[in-house]
Copies of this chain bind each other. A is one copy, B any other.
Amino acid sequence: MTTSSEPRSARTGRLRMSPESRREQLLDLGTRLLSTRTLEEISIEVLAEEAGISRGLLYHYFGNKQEFHLAVVRRAVEDLVAITAPRDIDDPIEQLAVSIGAYLDYVVENYTGYVSLVRAAAGGNEELRAIYDQGRKALTDRIFEVTGPEGLEALGLSDSPTIRLLVNGWAAMLEVVIIDWVDDPRGIAREDLLERLARALPAIVLS
């Protein structure tokens, strides 16, 4: 086992962080690596090199590669849920468009990792898919749980199995349209796209 020669501050624990904080900090770094790398490309070896700490310590924190990947994806999903949280905006469509915009910006900034994560979750990996599905559910549940101007009533919607089915479909549409748009944004300006995607929710549900 080799130890990196730099930066030493991370190894010597100058900040005397708790193991939990240290693990969180390492997860932050792992998640940031997703911006330019696929999930498969973020190994414990890569994280060890970037963090300047030993692989042995990382295996201590994360167990194995699969556990490490699940922890990174869980963190990425938490980040997505956090950055898309409803703001204090009166108009419900504008409110929704702002949240979709935060989602879109995340995809732009973390494109390589995001696409690899969506593919891994949509593919055969059951545990990854479970985390991903929970994330989508957290994002769509918010539409049903939040009251006030950004809530369901403001959009003219009510809660039912059919509406939940359609809202989940709308979320799937968002994911595909956002990836397509980031691949080729020439057809429509960002703000116009966000408004259309926001308006699509009541349009689908009330049509």
Residues of A near any B CB (own CB < 8 A): 118-120, 122-125, 160-162, 164-166, 168-170, 172-177, 180-181, 184, 186-188, 192-193, 196, 199-200, 202-204, 206-207
Contact = CB atoms under 8 A, between A and B. Distances in A.
A180 B165 contact: yes
Nearest to A195: B207
B181 A177 contact: no
> How many subunits of this chain does the assembly comprise?
2
A200 B125 CA distance: 31
Contacts of A199: 207
Given A119-B123, A203-B204, A203-B207, A165 B177 contact: yes
Given A161-B187, A162-B187, A173 B181 contact: no
Contacts of A204: 173, 196, 200, 203-204
Contacts of A119: 122-124
B176 A169 contact: yes
Given A165-B188, A204-B204, 17 more contacts: A118-B122, A119-B122, A160-B187, A161-B187, A161-B188, A162-B187, A162-B188, A162-B193, A162-B196, A168-B180, A169-B180, A169-B200, A170-B173, A199-B207, A202-B207, A203-B206, A203-B207
Contacts of A123: 119-120, 122-125
Contacts of A180: 165, 168-169
Contact of A207 (B122, B169, B176, B196): B196
Contacts of A170: 173
B176 A168 contact: yes
Q: Which of A119, A173, A181 has the most CB of B within 10 A?
A: A173
B207 A181 contact: no
A169 B175 CA distance: 8
